[in-house]
Amino acid sequence: MAWSERQLAMLREMGVRMFVPVRPSAPAPAPAGPPMAALAPAVPASAEASAATPASAPSAAGSLDWAQLRAAVAACRACRLCESRKQTVFGVGHPHAHWMVIGEAPGAQEDEQGEPFVGAAGQLLDAMLRALDLSRAAQGEPARRVFIANTLKCRPPGNRNPQPDELAACEPFLRRQIELVQPRIILAMGRFAVQSLLRTNEAIGRLRGRVHRYQGVPLVVTYHPAYLLRNLVDKARAWEDLCLAAQVVEQNRTDDATC
């Protein structure tokens, strides 16, 4: 990939040294652990099939269109986080973006504004994306667009860690978002997003540098931008991860063109 002056300037601004991607992507291993259905909230089959199932129940998300899904998230009361949230944070970006970024959960500013990654971590994320000529804008060329979502749509009080039951309750929403976007690549940021999507307890350091899959979509693991703000040395590794993700998208584009 040839970098423009603008991209190089952006990288310098981020304190990131240039990375030459050389690592071939390994064949994607199937995620270890229970199948997706095992994480969905337990709903009796009869209740799930029932027309009376409220559209706001996360388990009913699988058939919803964008507008219905947004409404279901806004109305969700499936876990305790609905008690303390100011508003739900659905996600932002192009509905058919080629890239999908998945973070952990809204923080205070996101809870206030209703949009993911709007604080300092979000500014770093946007700078990293800009360096690859990507943006969260809802219009434009899908290949240059990102849809940003979180594993949790509601802020955990005091920014505490997401709890397993909260992640499980919210996952059908994220799963449906991925089905609707149909991204070419998922970038999973931070321990909670990575471990819940890949069903693993492995550390990010052991999972990065290769291509995983979620619902058949290639997934690359990287550090959370909030962590990168405190750990400058890992910024270079995060940049490597973005380059790997870009490589996967580029490779798939080339494969598509030759089919």
Interface segment toward ligand URA; rule CB under 6 A; list 13-21, 30-38, 80-88, 99-107: 99-107
- Taking the C-alpha atoms of residue 238 and residue 101, their distance in angstroms, rounded to an integer, is 13
**Least distance (Å) between residue 226 CB and ligand URA:** 6
Where in 206-245 is the site for ligand URA (CB under 6 A)?
226
Under the binding rule (CB under 6 A), the answer on residue 116 touching ligand URA is yes
Minimum Å gap between C-beta 203 and ligand URA is: 17
Report helix, strand and coil shares of the chain as percent, to nearest 5.
50, 10, 40
Q: Tell me which stretch binds ligand URA (CB under 6 A): 3-11, 14-22, 91-99, 101-109.
A: 101-109
Query: Which tokens hold the place of 33?
Result: 């652990």
Smallest separation, CB 81 to ligand URA (Å): 14
Residue 58 in the binding site for ligand URA (CB under 6 A): no
21 vs 114 by CB, closer to ligand URA: 114
End-to-end Cα spacing for the chain: 22
Site string for ligand URA, 118-137 (x = CB under 6 A): ---x----------------
Note whether 150 binds ligand URA by CB under 6 A.
yes
Task: Select from 10, 69, 105, 243 the one that contacts ligand URA (CB under 6 A).
Answer: 105
Cβ-based burial of 221 (10 A; exposed 0-12, middle 13-18, buried ≥19): buried
Residue with tokens 């609905």: 82
Is 104 one of the binding residues for ligand URA (CB under 6 A)?
Answer: yes
Q: Which helix (H) or strand (E) holds 66?
A: helix 66-75
E-only strand ranges, the chain? 92-93, 99-103, 146-150, 185-189, 212-214, 217-222
For residue 248, the one-letter residue type is: V
Site map (CB under 6 A) of ligand URA, residues 171-190, x = contact: -------------------x
Contact (Cβ atoms closer than 8 angstroms) between residue 250 and residue 27: no
Residues 9, 174: Cα–Cα separation, whole Å = 34
Q: Which residues bind ligand URA (CB under 6 A)?
A: 103-107, 110, 116-117, 121, 150, 190, 226
